[in-house]
Amino acid sequence: MKDKVVIITGGSSGIGKALAFHFGERGSKLVITGRREEALNAAAAELRKKGIEVMTIAGDVSKEEDNRLLAERTLEHFGKIDILINNAGISMRALFEEVDLEVIRKVMDINFYGSLYATKYCLPSIIEHRGSVVGVSSIAGYRGLPGRVGYSASKFAMQGFLESLRTEMIPKNVHVLTACPGFTTSNIREASLTKDGSAQGASPRDEDKMMSAETCARHIYNAVVKRKKHLVLTTQGKVTVLMNKLFPGFMDKLVYREMAKEENSPFK
């Protein structure tokens, strides 16, 4: 990955920030983007202390024009784009019968359309350099999670897009990776939207028992190096994907019971 130009959306915290360090420490040149300029600048300062070359571009992935500018400014500065990591994402937690539809629309705009827009504008240079498109999806893209209907829908959509793109890119030798972490320590649950669109504020799950963002980043980095097509992380995640294929009815009940255990669960 030395001297590869890597764009990471949602690169100021969580898995995105961990990916920035992992790629940067191995010689990649980075572009990190996100909506919060202050957080971007703080992350960039940490990266530069490690001698990592990084450029920040503040922008909202849900806006097509911001993604066009992201690709344009990266090409102006570095002259190429080798790898795009579609990492920016947001979650939600509410029953479908109670949720404001605008919440689901916002989740789709960020998680699905954000990946679509960024890939569209970065793809010409990635094709030229036979690079990689990475989508950081979720186990929720394989198994729909009750109480997170908008999040699961966005990840199913992302995975369908990436699978189609991967097939289209066969003759162009472009690598497309769908990476699906299980529950991972990050700020996604704190920022998760409730039924009225307000931020949840506190994680309903025990973060200490989850895979770290750094471990997740290491696995994704290795999958990019090896040009893998799929990456499913954590034992729980792998078992969930397999069991859902074999015993979908049983998994409906099991997943419901598991999600109902969360603190302040909407099922109670």
SS (H, E, C) the chain: CCCCEEEEECCCCHHHHHHHHHHHCCCCEEEEEECCHHHHHHHHHHHHHCCCCEEEEECCCCCHHHHHHHHHHHHHHHCCCCEEEECCCCCECECCCCCCHHHHHHHHHHHHHHHHHHHHHHHHHHHHCCCEEEEECCHHHCCCCCCEHHHHHHHHHHHHHHHHHHHHCHHHCCEEEEEECCCECCCCCCCCECCCCCECCCCCCCHHHCECHHHHHHHHHHHHHCCCCEEECCHHHHHHHHHHHHCHHHHHHHHHHHHHCCCCCCCC
Residues annotated catalytic, as ranges: 151
- What are the backbone angles phi and psi of residue 70, rounded to the nearest 5°? -60, -50
Residue 134 CA to residue 86 CA, distance in Å, equals: 6
Residue 177 CA to residue 200 CA, distance in Å, equals: 30
CB atoms within 10 A of CB 137: 27
29 beta partners = 5
User: Which one, of 197, 4, 242, lies nearest residue 92 by Cα?
Assistant: 197
